[in-house]
Structure 1
Amino acid sequence: MTLKLKLLVTAVASLMLVACSESEQVQAQQQAPEVEVITLTTTSVGLTTELPGRTIEYRQAEIRPQVSGILQQRLFREGQQVEAGELLYKIDAATYQAALASAKANVASAKAGQFNAANKAKRIKDLLGSKVVSQQDFDDANALMMQADAAVASAEAALQNAQINLDYTEITAPISGVIGRSAVTEGALLTANQAQGLATIRQLDPIYADLTQSSTDLLRIKRQMQQQNKQQVSVDLILDDGSKYAEQGSLEFSEVNVDPSTGMVTLRAVFDNKQSDLLPGMFVRAVLHHGSNDNAILVPQAAVSRTAKGEAMVMVVNADNQVESRIVILGQSTDGNWVAESGVKAGEQIIISGLQKVRAGATVRVVQAGNKTTNTAAQ
């Protein structure tokens, strides 16, 4: 009887131990925090770089008088489109017309002297053979003829200068573009090459956007372009209100020197601007498209946290459902994701929700993003 009792007690104790063990496992399952994860995969991502900048007119010309005089007429409307060669201002031309007439008379007088000197030199040359005149007379006649030729050339140059000055009384547009406000009105006294411009013409179609970029990033872009044998960089423009400019542009050139004080390089992109939506001086952000990465790993921005040193970090769930912290190097951002350049690889699971409930080394229950099936720690 005693033996049976002992066996019964032993059996009961064993069952109680098994029950306790199962209870602890269930309790452990219930205590493990639930986190939402995604499995990393490779995908193709366009290589882009976003840079700040400002728009600059394609061409600009300040209008200044090249002769002095009283302004008689202004022949344009402020803010209108003008064409190269179009008449803008007229200066009183009376004195310049008189100077031109005087120059023409001087040319006629010089030519008369030239004609007389040439005939005299010819006659003396004919008489030289008969010894009627001396060699010195012949040399003097030739010298007078050359002086007369020089006088004609000088008079013709003065005539040309007088004609140029007269032409300058009509001030024309040197380039096509939009002309701004006029700084002078009719009756104003203008001075040749004065410091104050009369007006400014700006060509807005096409238009430039000057962008700034660090020399380090510029080298990275050039290497990526060389690897993919890409010659042309297309550029999208984001306006100050966040909207995207309708026309896509292209990168024209980069400065050949680096600003030693900032380490930055200026890049210039050009855009069509037929509707004049872009005006000089506007702040813009430019997105440069300089290739593609066919094996990019995208990490949701919600999955990235920062260490005390400012390093980017993600939480990875290993095969044992334990959490590991990983330092990652991030590249560009795209559609709410970062491109991970190092630190994680395809096939790994990273936590995107529930980060506040876990720490490195903790065991978790895993739920795939968009899938409510739970992978428990006991599996």
Structure 2
Amino acid sequence: MFAWTLLPLLACDGKQEAAAYAPPVQEVATLKVQGESVVLHDEFPGRVAAFRVAEVRPQVGGLVRSRRFVEGDTVQKGQPLYSLEAAVFRATVDGAAAAHSGSEASKLQAELHAKRIQVLFDQGASTQQALDDARATLAIATAEVARARAALERARVDLDYATITAPIAGHIGISQVNEGALVGPADVTPLSVIQQIDRVFVDIKSPADRAVSLQSAQGGSGSEGAEVILISASGAPYPERGRVQFSDITVDPGSGERTVRVLVPNEKQQLLPGMFVRARVVLGEVQNALLVPQQSVLHDAEGKAQLFVVREDNTAEQRAVRVGRVIHGRYVVEEGLSAGERVVVEGQDRLAPGLQVTPVEWQHASTAR
């Protein structure tokens, strides 16, 4: 009778002992993964370069008589910038013009003489030798006219070069010479530099194996390079967006990088040569992409990505996944996860495969605040 009485008590003690040794149910923060559209992009450092750069140089030597522009102004192609002392060039033109007139007169004289000798020869009153000499003299006079004409044209060109004009339209920089300076074509330093910046280039450095994909990525029209969003040093995007033009064929032997050139409209001229920017190259849009917070992905000793998924029976499952790019703090999961599954975001350090968990909805820090 006493033994039958003890059996229920022993059974209760066994259950309590089993409960005491059972692992506690862990509470974990989970996120239900849903497919969404994401824009893939790569981001690189870049430097702004002018669309065109032209050095202002003299093509003849002489003293600078005047400067005809204001430093920093916008100049037009062909606009006069400097005037050299032109008296010597005008005198050369006058001398060449006189020589040309003299050659014309000599030619006229040779023509008349050749005609007279021809008449006499036809009448038998002149020799073949005299006719040949008259013709040769005329040919020499004709050549002398051509030489004098070329010398006159050269003198006029030199006179025109005494006025130094802008080779392109754009912003002109600091003048390196003032009135009275002696300048010449062999000078090392240009008189000034003009830069066209109504559109600019942004040169970005990309690993060689990724440069080709940047060039081949297409925009919406299918005929242009990848779209590029420029980010300022403060983190704000510029309103102008550019397109990839080409990638240089030369690979830097030190860094293994290639230069990718981007063309950007710059009507407001906010982008200036030499500025540092971040270039965000848009590679395309992916539909139904699965994204998980970075902290939900763990890596094993071999560097392989894995995460915990909560099954329908609220047990933890450790699963290997393949992750791609990071977009705004979230991994794109390319393989190993399906839409609708619950991923453990916080608390996975206390989990083991098959452990019972209590899932709660994960709140992002910004949402929680």
Query: Same fold by TM-score, threshold 0.5 exceeded?
Result: yes
Q: Match for residue 286 of structure 1? A: 279
> Quick check: 1:53 aligned with 2:50?
no
Q: Distance in 1 between matches of 2:173 and 2:164?
A: 15
Q: Match for residue 5 of structure 2? A: 8
After TM superposition, the structure 1 stretch with the greater mean CA deviation from structure 2, 68-77 or 212-221, is: 212-221
> Quick check: 1:188 aligned with 2:181?
yes
Change (3 A) 1:204 1:120: same
Q: Match for residue 158 of structure 1? A: 151
After TM superposition, the structure 1 stretch with the greater mean CA deviation from structure 2, 263-272 or 249-258, is: 249-258
Q: For 2:283, what is the secondary structure of its paired residue?
A: strand
Q: CA deviation at 1:369?
A: 2.3
Residue among 13, 32, 44 paired with 2:37: 44
Q: CA deviation at 1:183?
A: 0.7
> Quick check: 1:300 aligned with 2:293?
yes
The one-letter amino acid of 2:5's match is L
Which structure 2 residue ranges, 5 or more long, are not aligned? Answer: 365-369
Q: CA deviation at 1:49?
A: 1.5
TM-score between the two structures when normalised by the length of structure 1:
0.87
Contact 1:64–1:193 (Cα < 8 Å) also in 2 = no
Write the deviation string for residues 145-195 of structure 1: whole angstroms up to 9, x where unpaired: 111111000000000100010001101111111111111110111122311
Contact 1:230–1:291 (Cα < 8 Å) also in 2 = no
Contact 2:214–2:281 (Cα < 8 Å) also in 1 = no
Q: CA deviation at 1:78?
A: 1.0
Q: CA deviation at 1:283?
A: 1.0
Q: For 2:125, what is the secondary structure of its paired residue?
A: coil
Which structure 1 residue ranges, 5 or more long, are not aligned? Answer: 372-379
Q: Distance in 2 between matches of 1:38 and 1:201?
A: 57
Q: Distance in 2 between matches of 1:240 and 1:224?
A: 26
The one-letter amino acid of 2:174's match is R
Q: CA deviation at 1:110?
A: 0.5
Q: For 2:239, what is the secondary structure of its paired residue?
A: coil
Q: Distance in 1 between matches of 2:215 and 2:172?
A: 39
Q: Percent identity?
A: 36
Q: CA deviation at 1:360?
A: 5.5
> Quick check: 1:113 aligned with 2:125?
no
Write the deviation string for residues 119-142 of structure 1: whole angstroms up to 9, x where unpaired: 111121222222111122111111
Aligned length: 363
Q: Distance in 2 between matches of 1:229 and 1:182?
A: 44
The one-letter amino acid of 1:57's match is A
TM-score between the two structures when normalised by the length of structure 2:
0.89
Write the deviation string for residues 234-288 of structure 1: whole angstroms up to 9, x where unpaired: 1110011211111112222222343444332211112222222111111111111
Q: Match for residue 245 of structure 2? A: 252
After TM superposition, the structure 1 stretch with the greater mean CA deviation from structure 2, 307-316 or 173-182, is: 307-316
Q: For 1:246, what is the secondary structure of its paired residue?
A: strand
Change (3 A) 1:66 1:223: closer
Q: For 2:238, what is the secondary structure of its paired residue?
A: coil
Write the deviation string for residues 75-123 of structure 1: whole angstroms up to 9, x where unpaired: 1111111111111110000100000000000100000011111111112
Q: Match for residue 89 of structure 2? A: 96
Contact 1:67–1:193 (Cα < 8 Å) also in 2 = no
The one-letter amino acid of 2:223's match is Q
Give me the CA root mean square deviation.
2.6
Contact 2:215–2:245 (Cα < 8 Å) also in 1 = no
Q: Distance in 2 between matches of 1:346 and 1:224?
A: 28
Q: Match for residue 223 of structure 2? A: 231
After TM superposition, the structure 1 stretch with the greater mean CA deviation from structure 2, 318-327 or 89-98, is: 318-327
Q: Any residues of structure 2 matched to 1:1-379 within 5 Å, and which? A: 2=1, 5-18=2-15, 23-24=19-20, 28=22, 31-221=24-214, 225=218, 230-232=222-224, 233-308=226-301, 310-319=303-312, 321-359=314-352, 362-370=355-363
Contact 2:290–2:333 (Cα < 8 Å) also in 1 = yes
The one-letter amino acid of 1:358's match is L
Q: Distance in 1 between matches of 2:195 and 2:216?
A: 36
Change (3 A) 1:324 1:193: farther
Q: Match for residue 367 of structure 2? A: none
